[in-house]
């Protein structure tokens, strides 16, 4: 199963995927995010949409080049994972996330599929 993490933040939903061989690298990033106040929820796997678009077909229209542009997010840690080729940014699956439970450890998050959100704050 491909690992996936959707981050809900001020830049919108961003989904990152990675292979099992990069779990330990992702654990370190997720632990840092947990300490910074991001809460992760384990979700049921959403099989559809967890692969990058097929880029092997030639473009027929210029506007098609904009359809699957690389995503950008305000998170240096996740951006570094993507830049190093250890993870990919993909379109967030259309299937709704069905929460299983709140994650207790970064290891749980790194070895499955999850959604991360900032903790609620009072004002």
Domain parsing of the chain, residue ranges: 3-49+67-110
pLDDT, tens digit, 9 for 90 and up, residues 83-121 = 888 998 888 888 888 899 999 999 999 999 999 988 777
Burial class (CB in 10 A: 0-12, 13-18, 19+), 90: buried
pLDDT in tens, 43-79: 888 755 444 444 445 545 545 544 544 444 567 888 8
């Amino acid at each position: 199963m491909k690992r996936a993490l959707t981050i809900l933040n001020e830049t919108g939903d961003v989904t990152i995927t990675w292979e099992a061989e990069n779990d330990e690298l992702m654990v370190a990033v997720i632990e840092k995010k947990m300490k910074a106040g991001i809460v992760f929820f384990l979700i049921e796997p959403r099989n559809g949409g967890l692969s990058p678009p097929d880029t092997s077909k030639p473009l027929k229209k210029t506007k098609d080049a904009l359809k699957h542009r690389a995503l950008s997010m305000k998170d240096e840690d996740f951006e570094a994972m993507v830049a190093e080729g250890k993870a990919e940014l993909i379109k967030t699956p259309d299937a709704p996330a069905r929460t299983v439970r709140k994650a207790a450890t970064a290891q749980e998050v790194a070895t499955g599929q999850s959604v991360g959100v900032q903790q609620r704050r009072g004002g």
